[in-house]
Amino acid sequence: MGLQKSDAFDVERIREDFPILEREVNDGQQVVYLDNGATTQKPNQVIDAMSEYYRTYNANVHRGIHQLSQEASIAYEEAHDTVADFIGADGREEVVFTKNTTEAENLVAYAWGLNELGPGDEVVLTEMEHHASLVTWQQIGRKTGADVKFIPVTDNGYLDMAAARDLVTDDTEMVSAVHVSNTLGTINPAEELADLAHDHDAYVFLDGAQAVPTRPVDVKDLDADFYAFSGHKMVGPTGIGCLYGKKEILEEMEPYLYGGDMIRKVTFEETTWNDLPWKFEAGTPNIAEAIGLAVAVEYLEDIGMSNVQRHEERLAGYALERMAELDDIEVYGPTDARDRGGLVSFNLDGVHAHDLASIMNDHGVAIRAGDHCTQPLHDKLGIAASARASFYIYNTTDEIDALLEAVDDARQLFA
Residues marked active site are found at 373
> Contact, 144 vs 115, CB < 8 A?
no
> SS3 for 130?
coil
Spatial distance between the Cα atoms of 397 and 405, rounded to a whole number of angstroms: 12
The alpha carbon of 354 is separated from its chain's Cα centroid by a whole number of angstroms, namely: 24
Half-sphere exposure of 362 (CA within 13 A, CB side): 13
Complete DSSP assignment for 217-258: --HHHHT-SEEEEEGGGTTS-TT-EEEEE-HHHHHHSPPSS-
Instruction: Find, among 166, 101, 157, 112, the residue nearest to 134 by Cα.
Output: 101
Which residue, among 124, 180, 139, 135, has the nearest Cα to 313 in the 3D structure? Answer: 180
| Helix orientation angle between 305-324 and 397-413, rounded to the nearest 10 degrees | 30
User: What does residue 335 show for φ and ψ, rounded to 5 degrees?
Assistant: -90, -10
